């Protein structure tokens, strides 16, 4: 299904000891630009995270936020450093003897000395940690893609409607173009008749002038290409594939043919319709920028 490049997805998993949450949001971008903010303990998984993201997202400026809330102390242990405590005790006894002081050493006193007790982090089980992160990450990405699909379907509906309007404008130009040739011929004949005192008109000369005029204002090729590009855009939208870049190129071609048609126009009606056609193309080009 057609997907927009804007989207949002969030997922979290809570246990008795911790909570992992993942949030993904994106806006349009020519390529995939992924920015990940996460705790240091997850840095080791960055390559794996990026690999998973690429399975879900092809284009867009994507911001991902991963958070970890620890509810317990299971990640650290207290370590008693007997050797250091023994050194402190030895020197304290020596001080007592050296200065004839009362030996009032207590366990509570000794325990407060630096490095007697230290906190050490328990080594992280990388595989277990990633196995907890992975399903949360994928759930957030699935929700993100779902939001893109919803927005993409809205875009598709609107774009198809605009394509119908464009096709109608092109049909009008196609039907109107032969008429202006005939109108030019009639105006030219009337003008010559007015200028000449008699009714003798050089039909060959008129035919030559009309042919030259017709060649200048002929938009047959432009009409064919406009119709082809409109149909190609419609087919791409209905394909359900990632077609953003392709549609961007087609929109440029549509704009080029519309500009050529307008530059050749000497008819007010065709000019007005041509301007409406260009306006629709510009609107489509803006919307296409947001398709993956």
User: How many Cβ atoms are within 10 Å of 25's Cβ, its own excluded?
Assistant: 17
Residue 163 sits in the same domain as residue 188: yes
Number of structural domains (the chain) is 3
Do 17 and 107 share a domain, yes or no?
no
Say yes or no: 130 and 49 in one domain. Answer: yes
Residues 50 and 175 in one domain: no
CATH number at residue 258: 1.20.140
217: left (phi over 0), alpha (psi -120 to 50) or beta: alpha
Flag whether 59 is in a domain: yes
Domain that holds residue 205: 152-288
> Which pLDDT value is given to residue 18?
84
**pLDDT < 70: residue spans in the chain:** 72-76, 121-124, 181-203, 205-217
Tens digit of each residue's pLDDT (9 = 90 or more) over 108-139: 888 888 888 887 766 667 888 899 999 999 99
pLDDT at 261: 85
Which of 102, 22, 30, 107 lies closest to 66, judged by CA?
22
- Hey, which bits of 129-253 come out as E strands? none
Q: Where are the beta strands (DSSP E) in 15-144?
A: 18-27, 32-37, 60-70, 76-80, 117-121
Instruction: With respect to residue 104, please indicate whether it lies within any of the assigned structural domains.
Output: yes
CATH of the domain at 44: 3.30.230
pLDDT value, residue 206? 61
Q: Are 166 and 267 contained in the same domain?
A: yes
CA-CA distance, 139 to 23, in Å (whole number)? 10
The residue among 46, 233, 260 whose CA lies nearest residue 158 is 233
Residue 229 falls inside a structural domain: yes
Q: Does 103 map to a domain?
A: yes
CA-to-CA distance for 204 and 49, rounded, in angstroms?
77
> Is there a single domain that holds both residue 260 and residue 208?
yes
Same domain, 265 and 280: yes
Question: Are 257 and 273 within one domain?
Answer: yes
Q: Beta 60-70 vs 32-37: how paired, if at all?
A: parallel
Please give the pLDDT value at position 77: 74
- Give domain status of residue 97, yes or no: yes
Residue 37 located in a structural domain: yes
Judge whether 1 lies within some domain. Answer: no
Tokens read off for 95: 């001080």
pLDDT on residue 124: 66
Question: Is 16 exposed, middle or buried (CB count within 10 Å of its CB: 0-12, 13-18, 19+)?
Answer: exposed
Please indicate, yes or no, whether residues 111 and 195 belong to a single structural domain of this protein: no
């Amino acid at each position: 299904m057609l997907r927009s490049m804007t989207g949002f997805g969030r997922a979290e998993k809570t246990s008795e000891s911790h909570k992992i949450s993942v949030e993904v949001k994106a806006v349009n971008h020519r390529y995939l630009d992924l920015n990940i903010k996460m705790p240091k303990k997850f840095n080791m998984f960055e390559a794996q995270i990026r690999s998973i993201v690429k399975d879900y997202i092809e284009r867009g400026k994507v911001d991902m936020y991963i958070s970890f809330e620890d509810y317990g102390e299971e990640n650290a242990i207290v370590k008693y450093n007997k050797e250091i405590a023994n050194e402190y005790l030895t020197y304290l006894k020596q001080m007592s003897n050296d200065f004839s002081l009362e030996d009032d050493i207590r366990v509570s006193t000794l325990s407060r000395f630096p490095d007697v007790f230290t906190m050490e982090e328990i080594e992280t089980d990388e595989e277990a940690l990633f196995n907890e992160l992975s399903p949360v990450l994928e759930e957030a990405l699935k929700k993100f893609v779902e939001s893109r699909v919803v927005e993409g379907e809205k875009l598709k509906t609107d774009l198809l409607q605009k394509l119908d309007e464009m096709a109608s404008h092109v049909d009008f130009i196609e039907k109107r173009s032969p008429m202006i040739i005939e109108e030019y011929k009639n105006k030219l004949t009337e003008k010559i008749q007015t200028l000449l005192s008699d009714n003798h008109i050089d039909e060959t000369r008129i035919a030559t002038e009309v042919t030259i005029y017709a060649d200048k204002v002929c938009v047959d090729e432009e009409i064919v290409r406009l119709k082809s590009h409109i149909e190609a855009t419609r087919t791409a939208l209905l394909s359900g594939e990632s077609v953003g870049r392709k549609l961007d190129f087609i929109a440029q071609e549509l704009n080029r043919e519309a500009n050529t048609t307008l530059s050749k126009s000497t008819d007010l009606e065709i000019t007005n319709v041509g301007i409406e056609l260009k306006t629709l193309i510009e609107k489509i080009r803006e919307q296409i920028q947001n398709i993956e």
